[in-house]
Amino acid sequence: MPSIKEILSHSAEKLTKVALSPYKEASAILGFSLGVDNLWLIAHDSDIVDIPKDFLANIKKREEFYPLEYILKNTSFYARDFYTDERVLIPRPETELLVDEVVNICKDFKDLTIAEVGTGSGIISIMLAILLPNIKIIATDISESALEVAKINAKKYDMQNRIRFIKTNLLDNIDEKIDVIVSNPPYIKKDEKLEKNLSYEPDLALFAGAKGDEILRQIIDEAMRREIKVLACEMGYNQKEKITNYLKKQNKKAKFYKDLAGIDRGFVIKGNTFKNYFHLNTVS
């Protein structure tokens, strides 16, 4: 039987075409199978072990570009671990910037209601609930299975009583007053060719329509109709001009922000861009 080091070296070779850090990924997958962390693997790298069957199956999956996050049932976001499986889109690091935008705007206010459209795994709403203890949060999704994952994550961080999860399209049938809308909606054109790993993620969370910005425009329209005070959305890297032109027709403007790679990643509309200015009581 091989040692742990030999198992990892052999498995890492198989992952060289799909992983930036093959040995690290092989270690994560073996640790998941054995129920141990990476430090344990390092300390016991000369130990002889039976190769777990699920480890071999998961290495094979990863060779075929199956996402590591789905194998490990875990994604790191804001330096916290969130449960993730095929029912939801895998959270990306750049979405932390969307959370940052909302927190920076809302941190000095109270009696605020934020609605997240398309919550998926729930990570945005959960982080907002953690970082903004004075707000109320409504999180919607059209997918019941996605909401099941979001509730798992909310319970993990004891935020299940801070967030109201609702199965609906956008904000349909929600009549209460909402101050802020935040969303990382589907924004990919339905005929766009995807990377292999994306083929495993739910179409409902990826594809918006023939042009790609259909749902973004629907959310903007919903925000205008409700006279929302702040709207913050993630968008596709090539959609700034489309969003700008759509807003220009309505005499509206947005502040766009870039990710750490300098790519256009999202936009914020706030203040008197809407009919009502952002008049709220500051936290005393």
- pTM of the full structure: 0.90
What are 136-147's pLDDT values in tens digits? 999 999 999 999
Q: Above 50 in pLDDT, residue 155? A: yes
pLDDT at 203: 79
Is pLDDT at 280 greater than 50 in this prediction? no
Which residue is it, tokens 């959305």? Answer: 233
User: What percentage of the chain reaches a pLDDT higher than 70?
Assistant: 95
Label residue 272 by pLDDT band (50, 70, 90). Answer: low
- The more confident residue out of 210 and 23 is 23
Q: Compute the distance between CA of residue 262 and CA of residue 265 in angstroms, rounded to an integer.
A: 9
Q: What are phi and psi of 248, to 5 degrees?
A: -60, -35
pLDDT (0 to 100) of residue 277: 39
Report the half-sphere exposure of 279 (CA within 13 A, side-chain side): 5
pLDDT digits over 230-239, tens only?
Answer: 999 999 999 9
What pairs with residue 207 in β-bridges? 188
Mean pLDDT of 44-65: 93
pLDDT score for 189: 76
Burial class (CB in 10 A: 0-12, 13-18, 19+), 152: middle
Q: Which residue has the higher pLDDT, 235 or 277?
A: 235
Residue 108 confidence (pLDDT): 85
Residue pair 144/167 in contact (Cβ under 8 Å)? The answer is yes
SS3 249: coil
Cα–Cα distance measured from residue 164 to residue 116, given in angstroms and rounded to the nearest whole number: 10
pLDDT, the chain, mean = 90
When pLDDT is cut at 50, 70 and 90, the band that residue 281 belongs to is very low
Residues 6+ apart with CB under 8 A from 244: 254, 256
In eight-state DSSP terms, residue 266 is E
Q: What is the mean pLDDT of residues 9-18?
A: 96
Residue 234: CB atoms within 10 A of its CB come to 23
Summarize pLDDT for 31-51 with one digit per residue, the tens: 999 999 999 999 999 989 888
Tell me the two tokens of residue 177. 């007053």
In this structure, are strands 264-270 and 255-258 parallel, antiparallel, or unpaired?
antiparallel
**Mean per-residue pLDDT for 90-101?**
95
**So what's the pLDDT on residue 212?**
83
pLDDT at residue 282 tops 60: no
Helices 53-63 and 4-14 pack at an angle, to 10 degrees, of: 20
Span 109-113, mean pLDDT?
87
pLDDT, tens digit (0-9, with 9 covering 90-100), for 161-208:
999 999 999 999 999 999 999 999 987 778 777 777 777 887 777 777
- φ/ψ region of 209 (left if φ > 0, alpha if ψ in -120 to 50, else beta) reads left
